[in-house]
């Protein structure tokens, strides 16, 4: 009788949930489904949409659209402003990545070896990374003001003529490079410090017993063991540099005379200011291919020289 009752007894909601629903949510495919759907909507679909429409002439003002093949790509590469934006982007990327990583390593090693004021110094260095670009650009636009800026005042103390910074073709690109390095320094230094903490202490004890100099220890021990962290910072820094937009839009808007324009801002100008949508999408595809090639080269070439513990 008890067995018959147990067979006919209705399951409670809790029992039903754990029997039928809970196993479904334990499936790995269900767990990654939200991220996969969001990735398809906001990453895969826009890339595919951009690639397809890069082969069309598209005038959004007149609502005219027709297939032109590779003409948009030919127009992009024959455009003088695009070539200048590409050159500016390469200079910007090389400067911010190389100088930024070098400064980040020096700051990280200093903070790692000097514990006095460590928390305060790390907080001060990291703060620019979490501050919005709007606040940062307002601060630096005041510092770089040709007439009342603090930077020109400091240069004047050393007998250097005032610079026009953002409003001069010679220094506009330098201006956004300085601000970008300053903003990214805290993040890179914090990641480098985390990498330094992962190096076993007994290695440095053995080095001290061998009476190795600090410079030799840095290049023979610290840098090789820090190489996985440096590879990560190198790849992410290059990608971020190629995708820079806010700093250009807020500080110089690509001027004067396209001297500080970068690729992403150029794509924005073509699409939303000049309404050359097809060429804008073609330039976006070119930018994507450049980033993919550089990332693959970094992982295939530099990954061979990375020392994993």
pLDDT at 9 over 70: no
Does any domain span residue 47?
Answer: no
pLDDT at 309 over 60: no
The pair of structure tokens assigned to 78 is: 């024959």
Task: Find out whether 277 and 76 touch, Cβ atoms under 8 Å.
Answer: no
Q: Residue 8, exposed/middle/buried by CB under 10 A (0-12, 13-18, 19+)?
A: exposed
Start-end of H helices in the chain: 2-8, 13-16, 22-25, 28-39, 45-53, 71-78, 80-113, 118-130, 133-143, 150-157, 172-197, 201-209, 214-217, 223-225, 227-242, 246-251, 263-268, 277-301
| Planar angle of CA 87, 133, 227, nearest 5 degrees | 65
267 and 193, same domain (yes or no): yes
32 and 133, same domain (yes or no): no
Q: Which of 185, 191, 172 is nearest to 91 (CA)?
A: 172
31 and 112, same domain (yes or no): no
Q: Which of 99, 118, 104, 240 is nearest to 178 (CA)?
A: 99
225 and 177, same domain (yes or no): yes
Residue 19: per-residue pLDDT:
72
% residues pLDDT > 90 (the chain) = 29
Does any domain span residue 60?
Answer: no
Q: What Rg value do the Cα atoms of the chain yield, rounded?
A: 27
14 and 118, same domain (yes or no): no
Does any domain span residue 140?
Answer: yes
17 and 117, same domain (yes or no): no
Does any domain span residue 291?
Answer: yes
Does any domain span residue 46?
Answer: no
CA–CA dist 252, 72 (Å, integer): 27
Q: pLDDT for 78-110, tens place per residue?
A: 999 999 999 999 999 999 999 999 999 988 888
Beta-bridge partner residues of 58:
65
Residue 71: per-residue pLDDT:
92
31 and 113, same domain (yes or no): no
Name which residue leads in pLDDT, 60 or 160.
160
Looking at residue 279, which CATH number applies to its domain? 1.10.3720.10
125 and 236, same domain (yes or no): yes
What backbone phi and psi angles, to 5 degrees, belong to 65?
A: -150, 125
Q: Report the residue count for the chain.
A: 309
pLDDT at 198 over 60: yes
pLDDT at 1 over 70: no
The pair of structure tokens assigned to 174 is: 């330098």
pLDDT band at 180 (very low <50, low <70, confident <90, very high): very high
Does any domain span residue 172?
Answer: yes
CA–CA dist 162, 156 (Å, integer): 7
Name which residue leads in pLDDT, 95 or 62.
95
pLDDT band at 223 (very low <50, low <70, confident <90, very high): confident
CA–CA dist 275, 9 (Å, integer): 68
pLDDT band at 115 (very low <50, low <70, confident <90, very high): low
Residue 241: per-residue pLDDT:
92
Task: Find out whether 162 and 222 touch, Cβ atoms under 8 Å.
Answer: no
pLDDT band at 74 (very low <50, low <70, confident <90, very high): very high
The pair of structure tokens assigned to 101 is: 């990583």
Residue 61: per-residue pLDDT:
79
CB half-sphere exposure, 82, CA atoms < 13 A: 19
The pair of structure tokens assigned to 20 is: 């039928």
Domains contained in the chain, number: 2
Residue 282: per-residue pLDDT:
93
pLDDT at 32 over 90: no
34 and 105, same domain (yes or no): no
pLDDT band at 114 (very low <50, low <70, confident <90, very high): low
30 and 170, same domain (yes or no): no
Q: Which of 259, 248, 204 is nearest to 226 (CA)?
A: 204
106 and 252, same domain (yes or no): yes
Domain housing 13? 2-38
Does any domain span residue 146?
Answer: yes
pLDDT at 20 over 50: yes
pLDDT at 249 over 70: yes
How much is the average pLDDT of 57-78? 87
Residue 30: per-residue pLDDT:
78
What backbone phi and psi angles, to 5 degrees, belong to 169?
A: -65, -25
81 and 210, same domain (yes or no): yes
Does any domain span residue 56?
Answer: no
pLDDT band at 190 (very low <50, low <70, confident <90, very high): confident
């Amino acid at each position: 009788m008890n067995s018959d009752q147990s067979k006919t007894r209705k399951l409670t909601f809790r029992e039903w949930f754990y029997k039928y629903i809970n196993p479904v949510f334990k499936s790995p495919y269900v767990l990654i489904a939200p991220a996969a759907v969001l990735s398809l909507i906001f990453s895969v679909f826009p890339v595919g949409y951009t690639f397809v429409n890069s082969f069309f002439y598209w005038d959004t003002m007149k609502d005219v659209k027709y297939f032109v093949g590779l003409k948009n790509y030919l127009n992009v590469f024959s455009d003088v402003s695009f070539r200048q934006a590409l050159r500016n982007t390469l200079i910007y990327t090389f400067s911010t990545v190389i100088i930024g990583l070098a400064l980040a390593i020096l700051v990280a090693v200093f903070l790692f070896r000097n514990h006095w004021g460590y928390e305060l110094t790390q907080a001060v260095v990291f703060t620019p990374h979490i501050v919005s670009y709007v606040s940062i650009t307002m601060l630096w636009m005041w510092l770089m003001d040709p007439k009342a800026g603090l930077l020109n005042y400091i240069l004047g103390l050393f007998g250097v003529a005032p610079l026009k910074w953002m409003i001069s073709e010679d220094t506009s690109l330098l201006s956004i490079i300085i601000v970008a390095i300053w903003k990214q320094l805290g993040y890179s230094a914090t990641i480098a410090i985390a990498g330094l903490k992962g190096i076993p202490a007994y290695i440095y004890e053995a080095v001290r017993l061998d009476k190795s100099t600090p410079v030799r220890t840095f290049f023979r021990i610290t840098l090789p063991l820090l190489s996985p962290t440096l590879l990560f910072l190198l790849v992410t820094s290059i990608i971020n540099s190629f995708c820079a937009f806010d700093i250009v839009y807020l500080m110089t808007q690509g001027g004067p005379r396209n001297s500080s324009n970068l690729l992403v801002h150029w794509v924005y100008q073509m699409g939303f200011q000049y309404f050359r949508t097809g060429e804008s999408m073609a330039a976006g595809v070119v930018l994507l291919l450049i980033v993919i090639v550089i990332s693959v080269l970094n992982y295939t070439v530099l990954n061979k020289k990375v020392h994993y513990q």
